[in-house]
A = this chain, B = another copy of it.
Amino acid sequence: MANAITPRAEDYSRWYTDVVLQAPLADYSPVKGCMVIRPLGMALWDNMRGALDAMFKATGHDNAYFPIFIPESFMTKEKEHVEGFAPECAVVTHGGGRELDEKLYVRPTSETIIHHMFAKWIQSYRDLPLLINQWCNIVRWEMRTRLFLRTTEFLWQEGHTAHATEAEAMEETLRMLGVYHTFAEEWMALPCVKGLKSDSEKFAGAVKTYCIEAMMQDGKALQAGTSHHLGQNFAKAFEEKYQTESGGWEYVWNTSWGLSTRMIGALVMAHGDDNGLVLPPKLAPTQIIIVPIYKGEEKARVVGQAEQILQALAASGIRVKMDAREGVRPGFKFNEWELKGVPLRLELGPRDIDAGQATSVKRHNREKKPLPLSSLADGVGPLLDEIQRDLYRAALERREAFTRVVDDYDAFKKTIESPGGFLRCHWCGSAACEKQVKDETKATIRCIPLDAPEEKGTCLVCGEASKRRVHFARAY
């Protein structure tokens, strides 16, 4: 039997950890800051990977694989990059029983090694654009870690591209931001704000960093994916040049973009409730759980019918399981599959069979609905679609309730403390005002939304002129 889950209202942070450990999605490991992803968590990531990979392919990207080790001399070639990443790297000093001549960094991201290879592969404008993606593990030494949200090792994908012109690179940066946004909204049922990071929050080595930002149930924001316009910073550091049609030589323009297993944490926090996980049908490893309910001699008939349903649903492409365990009460099974977040439960007892139906129960609101057995495969599809839409709508409503226009710094300080959320404020654009807000309230500028309308106003902090509102929030 699972341990009790701390209610969200009591301690949201403990609730999160309880759900992750008990579902179970992950476990702590004996390696400081590193976690173990358990089968349910891994199946979720594999489904996310499948959906994203298809979207990357559809936008012309190929997968490749680059070494996990980065020679120290590579790390130091792009100044901002090394300053941003070197301090948080794991460093290999010994290999094959002896000390290495040059230290190797375990990749904290792969720009340096990839642009070294790109420089070798790119000769002419005919080689552009070069559109590459990599699925891999990443290591960033973290002091304070949380399962999925911040771990020393994590899994992610990192896209890296090279283009002939700045405009094409910018187009790519925004295209992939759009792919992340579509993935978050349509697959994860997670509404996200598309926006630009302030200079102090951008990727070390980027010209501009775009992001999608989501809102969790406790009023804290979560950065869900980033897409960087790298300009020619890495191209110049790695002599990544191409011959133009007219015969001259130009530096290429680069982008990179990444999304990680942190998104599993976002999924937990966006939809979960006090009974455990709530998974959107499009990503759920198990979409439907069938629970046969019977006493004594009814067993053969009920389990036989449930088995038929299982076969029929599986044949129609639904990810379905049956829980026919002996000696375990239906109520216990219901709780266990609710904890695991299975979107739809089908209960089947003798009376259901007599009535030619199964009773469907939605995970997120326990709404019951009888479904005729004669057309079950046709009936559950629309129900799963409905759940996917319901989850998105609920998450959107929560976010809207958490989004406020604030023009006064005192009101800002109170609101950010409770209830939190996205505070839409005017900001003059100075790093000083941004830093003051962060130091005084722990809130950061999550993004300057791409669709923020022009609106004259004055900076929350200094009162200088501002042209549009930005999203402030405390964040994971």
Asked whether, in the complex, the Cβ of B43 is within 8 Å of the Cβ of A141, the reply is no
Closest to A142 in B: B96
Minimum CB–CB distance for A45 against chain B, Å: 8
Closest to A120 in B: B27
Asked whether, in the complex, the Cβ of A63 is within 8 Å of the Cβ of B43, the reply is yes
Asked whether, in the complex, the Cβ of B31 is within 8 Å of the Cβ of A117, the reply is no
8 Å CB contact of A69 from B34, B66, B97: B34
Interface string of A46-80 (1 = CB under 8 A from B): 10000000000000001111111111001000000
Is residue A284 contacting chain B, with contact meaning CB distance below 8 A?
no
Minimum CB–CB distance for A47 against chain B, Å: 11
- A117 neighbours in B (Cβ, 8 Å): 27, 29, 36
Given A90-B95, A95-B90, A136-B137, A36-B65 contact (CB < 8 Å): yes
Minimum CB–CB distance for A167 against chain B, Å: 24
Asked whether, in the complex, the Cβ of B120 is within 8 Å of the Cβ of A68, the reply is no
Asked whether, in the complex, the Cβ of B153 is within 8 Å of the Cβ of A67, the reply is yes
Interface string of A34-48 (1 = CB under 8 A from B): 111111001101100
- A68 neighbours in B (Cβ, 8 Å): 34, 68, 106, 137, 139, 153
Asked whether, in the complex, the Cβ of A29 is within 8 Å of the Cβ of B113, the reply is yes
Alpha-carbon distance between A237 and B141 when the two chains are bound, in angstroms:
29
Asked whether, in the complex, the Cβ of B155 is within 8 Å of the Cβ of A67, the reply is no
Alpha-carbon distance between A423 and B457 when the two chains are bound, in angstroms:
85
Asked whether, in the complex, the Cβ of A42 is within 8 Å of the Cβ of B64, the reply is yes
8 Å CB contact of A42 from B63, B104, B121, B139: B63
Is residue A88 contacting chain B, with contact meaning CB distance below 8 A?
yes
Alpha-carbon distance between A225 and B91 when the two chains are bound, in angstroms:
31
- A63 neighbours in B (Cβ, 8 Å): 39, 42-43, 46
Alpha-carbon distance between A133 and B178 when the two chains are bound, in angstroms:
33
Minimum CB–CB distance for A108 against chain B, Å: 11
7 extra interface residue pairs, beta carbon distance < 8 Å, beyond A35-B67, A38-B64, A90-B96? A27-B120, A34-B68, A36-B65, A68-B106, A87-B97, A90-B94, A95-B141
> Could you pull out 10 A-B pairs where Cβ atoms are within 8 angstroms?
A30-B74, A31-B71, A31-B113, A34-B67, A34-B68, A39-B62, A42-B63, A42-B65, A92-B106, A95-B141
Which residues of A are interface residues toward B (Cβ below 8 A)?
Answer: 27, 29-31, 34-39, 42-43, 45-46, 62-71, 74, 87-97, 104, 106, 113, 116-117, 120-121, 132, 136-137, 139, 141-143, 152-153, 155
